[in-house]
Each structure stands twice: as structure tokens, then as C-alpha cells.
Chain A
Amino acid sequence: GNSVTQMEGPVTLSEEAFLTINCTYTATGYPSLFWYVQYPGEGLQLLLKATKADDKGSNKGFEATYRKETTSFHLEKGSVQVSDSAVYFCALVSGTYKYIFGTGTRLKVLA
């Protein structure tokens, strides 16, 4: 069946450091891929998405490219801020609109 694997956290970075959170997936067909962010005490918010191979999703300085050849959708940001501290979830959706989420990666950014 479909699955999503994320790098384990926590990831601790200094402010202005470069961020990469790895995500790989297993799926039949051509899923759409997402990154969601969850701030403490809140629900999940969509951060960015990509619906086909080679698409790049971007938002708030975050980027991820849908790589079909490596089945990956790694999240990157060139310069993180303290306000980016949160849990990040990689997810995919299949044809029946069933979403599969990764286990989440906690990011902590230190001033």
C-alpha cells in the first residue's frame, strides 16, 4: 500500500541556518504530495503542494520538488527563523482522496 517515510527528529538549528527535511514515498499511480505544518496546540496547515512530477511547491520561503525518479519530496528553506519551530508532516493523496501522512519531524530553531 501507499506510505510516506520522513526523517526522524528533532531537528535543531540556529536561526538563519539551511533546512532540509527528507521525505520519500511509496505509491501506486501518480499521487499528489504535500507538506503540512503544525504549530503547538493547533491543527495542521497546508504549507505547500505539488501535483505532478518535477513540480516545485513553494510558500513562505519553503520549497519542495516532486522527484518521481527518486520518489522524494524533500522540504528545504534557505534561512530558518525561530517562528518556523513546529512539526512538519509530509503527506500524499491517492485517487480516492485518502491521505497518508508521515510521522512528522519536529523542528526547533534557536535564536
Chain B
Amino acid sequence: EAGVAQSPRYKIIEKRQSVAFWCNPISGHATLYWYQQILGQGPKLLIQFQNNGVVDDSQLPKDRFSAERLKGVDSTLKIQPAKLEDSAVYLCASKGRDYEQYFGPGTRLTVT
């Protein structure tokens, strides 16, 4: 079974630029998560989808971050405009019927 795919793996941008991350979950997984992991901290949930609907986006900075999951499969997370404090690893995870989450390798974003 293929795992969770993410791209790109690394991205360097200047502040005020925009960036987009892509995630393809494990086939058949209805629940998809985007997390932000700042160096030395645990993952922080940004948004949780169930199929193509949003379950929880309470910690998503909606003035600059947006996410979509059209057709309930792959998902895109966008930041516009980026700030220095957005430098982090952005993790995507998906969940099947049980409690177990499966994580992708992450995208490391550096904002200069």
C-alpha cells in the first residue's frame, strides 16, 4: 500500500511571497490532516477534513492560510503572503477507519 505523498519536500521563499503544498493521502482514507511543526515542537493541527468537508480549522490562520480538498482525495495547503514565523515543516496525515494516522514525509518551508 502506498503511503501518504507530499510535495515539494523542501521550499525556500522570501517573506510576502506565496507557496502551496500538495498532499495525496492513502487510497480510501476519508480523513486528512494538515499540521504545522515548528522546530523543537510537536505537530499543531491546522485543518482536518472528512472527505471534502472541513471538520476543524480553528487553528488555521485564515488571513493567510487556506486549504482545500476537492473531490475528497488530494489536498492543497496555501500560504499567502508568507511570514518569517511560517518557517516550519508542514505535515500531512490521513486516517482510515481505525484511530491510526499515517504521516507523509513533510515539506520543510524556509521563509527568508
Q: Which residues of chain A have a CB within 8 Å of any CB of chain B?
A: 4, 32, 34, 36, 41-46, 49, 51, 89, 91, 93, 96-99, 101-104
| A65–B93 CA distance with the chains assembled, in angstroms | 25
| A75–B74 CA distance with the chains assembled, in angstroms | 34
* A101 with B48: CB separation less than 8 A: no
If over half of A's interface residues share one DSSP class (helix, strand or loop), that class is named, otherwise mixed; here it is strand
* A98 with B104: CB separation less than 8 A: no
B11 in contact (CB, < 8 A):
no
Known: A32-B99, A44-B91, A96-B56. A101 touches B42 (CB 8 A): yes
A-B contact count (CB 8 A): 55
Complex interface: chain B residues within 8 A of A91 (CB) = 42
Count residues of chain B with CB under 8 A from any CB of chain A. Answer: 23
Most buried by A among B42, B91, B100, B101: B42
* A46 with B101: CB separation less than 8 A: yes
Interface string of B44-72 (1 = CB under 8 A from A): 11001000000110000000000000000
B21 in contact (CB, < 8 A):
no
Distance between B98 CB and nearest chain A CB, rounded to angstroms:
9
Q: Which 3 A-B pairs have the closest CB atoms?
A: A101-B42, A43-B103, A44-B103
B106 in contact (CB, < 8 A):
yes
